[in-house]
Amino acid sequence: MSSIRSTSVRAALLTVPLAVVGILGTATTPAGAKADHHGKPVTCRGAGVDPDARVRYKTDTVIHASMRTIWKLQTDVERWPSWQAHITTMDRLDEGPFRKGSAFRWTTPVPPNPSTPATNLDITSTVEQLKRNSCIRWTGPATGEGLHIDGVHVWNFTKVKGGIRVTTEETHRGPQVDANVPAATKILGNGLEAWMRDLKTTAEARDHQGPGR
């Protein structure tokens, strides 16, 4: 195990999920993004989200940037705080290429909601499945004051005309989120839409050569 590196950045309303969590409040949907709560499940190497979880959210958007840029942003987890302002700390728990078995511990603030007070979520994510330039699936617990969530998060990356279609689906399970499924789903949805918006904005700003690479 490598020595743990920690990065602190400004804390804001909230953000990414986790297995994750997200935000209450207004998070605008990225241009072209589409929430899809039904449809075909998002999978990576045959594995998807928790089929029995009551809290789930799915969305996708087309990002006008290269696969190389998008994949690097998403897998270089130690640099997440540089483009996601709501991640307050990030520790990569292994060394080398981002791969199956990679793990990372990170924190993000969560505002008060009908079931729990404002708290900082401490999340430990482990990559369970990964296919380069195609998909990632990670799982792990998120804990905070009066809050415990078991999350599963899957990402797909598909080349389309003009860019990359990014699709993500996440589920949460736990006594607090199960106690108020509509509120928990809204929080999760806002978090995923914020993540997608930040990924789109950052990737398109960095990739000035278009999606052809």
pLDDT attached to residue 38 = 57
Residues 29/111, Cβ–Cβ less than 8 Å: no
Using the predicted structure, report yes or no on whether residue 18 has a pLDDT greater than 90.
no
Residue type, 186: K
Nearest-10 crossing angle of helices 181-206, 67-75: 130
CB atoms within 10 A of CB 83: 15
**CB contact set of 195 (below 8 Å; sequence gap of 6+):** 15, 16, 17, 22, 84, 168
What confidence tens digit (pLDDT) does each residue in 126-154 have? 999 999 999 999 999 999 988 999 999 99
pTM reported for the whole predicted model? 0.81
The sheet that has 103-110: what strands, in order across it? 34-35, 55-63, 163-173, 147-160, 135-144, 119-131, 103-110, 89-92
Query: What does DSSP assign to residue 44?
Result: B
Q: How confident is the model at residue 35 (pLDDT cuts 50, 70, 90)?
A: low
**Span 203-212, mean pLDDT?**
73
Residue 212 pLDDT:
44
Strands (E), the chain: 34-35, 55-63, 89-92, 103-110, 119-131, 135-144, 147-160, 163-173
92: its two tokens:
């990569």
Residue for token digits 């278009």? Answer: 210
Statement: residue 213 has pLDDT above 50: no
Phi then psi for 134, rounded to 5 degrees? -140, -55
Cα angle, residue 147 at apex, residues 37 and 178 outer, rounded to 5°: 40
pLDDT band at residue 34, thresholds of 50, 70 and 90?
A: low
Contacts with 17 (C-beta within 8 Å, 6 or more apart), sequence order: 151, 153, 170, 188, 191, 192, 195
CA distances from 181 to 53, 94, 174, 187 (A): 10, 34, 10, 10
